[in-house]
Amino acid sequence: MTTTSPQGRTELLRPDGSPVRVLVVDDELSITDLLSMALRYEGWQIRSAGTGHAAMRAAREFRPDAVVLDMVLPDMDGLTVLGRLRRELPEVPVLFLTGKDAVEDRIAGLTAGGDDYVTKPFSLEEVVARLRGLIRRAAGTGRRSESVLVVGDLTLDEDSHEVSRGGEDIHLTATEFELLRFLMRNPRRVLSKAQILDRVWSYDFGGQANVVELYISYLRRKIDAGREPMIHTRRGAGYLIKPAAS
């Protein structure tokens, strides 16, 4: 749900009309203070935590709509916190903060179920934009719809958020679900990275189009693992989904 503030900004709201809730987790007080100030300016309710254990307590009490999570915390790493969050709040989108530039570290966070990442140092505008995209996608996957998408033996229920192939249930993160839905709404059609970024991420990814490749690889592991492939690459053009060859 959205509304327009007196300042002309489009505000995101929860379905009951209350402000969006964001949990900020970082052990650097200067970062949590800065992020909290910027996010409150968006009209959102903010809770902060400096350790993994404090983050879990806050998540249980606060029930956030999104989480900003540092990869390195004093008592446990961000991946451990994410795993515990996913058990209690499986659909909440998570934006990782990382000071590491290695692609392997980013892949680890996304593979573990994170929905996006920002590398320190970051701009506040970028964090806000990415959070807006994550929150909109999470809300969109929860909207009621009459359609069940079917491509070959793969089904995606937009109503219940359930995905299965050959009768076997497949668990997807919110971002993976949105990417698969976009592919399944356009079966046999080649979709470019730019089209996918615009539809799934809903903002300019700053040239980091390799995130599409990462998420395509995650979907393949879950959708095509041990089966005839359905997700295909057209080099220099993009990606498509079609029924598996019989």
Whether residue 163 sits in one domain with residue 235 = yes
Whether residue 106 sits in one domain with residue 47 = yes
Q: Given this model, what pLDDT does residue 17 score?
A: 75
Whether residue 227 sits in one domain with residue 175 = yes
User: Helix count (H) and strand count (E) of the chain?
Assistant: 8, 13
Domain span holding position 220 = 148-241
Question: At residue 179, what is the residue type?
Answer: L
Whether residue 216 sits in one domain with residue 127 = no
**What does each of the 246 residues of the chain score in pLDDT, given as a tens digit?**
444 444 445 567 777 678 899 999 999 999 999 999 999 999 999 999 999 999 999 999 999 999 999 988 999 988 899 988 888 888 899 998 887 665 566 666 666 667 888 888 888 998 998 898 888 877 765 444 446 888 989 999 887 889 999 889 999 988 899 999 999 988 889 999 888 888 887 655 454 668 899 999 999 999 998 899 999 999 989 999 999 875
Whether residue 152 sits in one domain with residue 135 = no
Whether 28 is covered by a domain: the verdict is yes
Whether residue 26 sits in one domain with residue 115 = yes
Whether residue 74 sits in one domain with residue 54 = yes
Encoding tokens for residue 239?
A: 């990606």
- Please tell me the distance from the alpha carbon of residue 35 to that of residue 225, in angstroms, as a whole number: 39
CATH value at residue 120: 3.40.50.2300
Final residue before a domain boundary, out of 139, 162, 195: 139
Whether 76 is covered by a domain: the verdict is yes
Beta bridge partners of 47: 23
Q: Given this model, what pLDDT does residue 4 score?
A: 42
Whether 7 is covered by a domain: the verdict is no
Final residue before a domain boundary, out of 89, 105, 139: 139
DSSP string, 164-192: EETTEEE---HHHHHHHHHHHTSTT--B-
Final residue before a domain boundary, out of 93, 122, 139: 139
CATH value at residue 225: 1.10.10.10
Whether residue 132 sits in one domain with residue 33 = yes
Whether residue 117 sits in one domain with residue 165 = no
Whether residue 120 sits in one domain with residue 27 = yes
- Please tell me the distance from the alpha carbon of residue 202 to that of residue 102, in angstroms, as a whole number: 25
Whether 14 is covered by a domain: the verdict is no
Q: Given this model, what pLDDT does residue 223 score?
A: 94
Whether residue 173 sits in one domain with residue 230 = yes
Encoding tokens for residue 34?
A: 């800065």
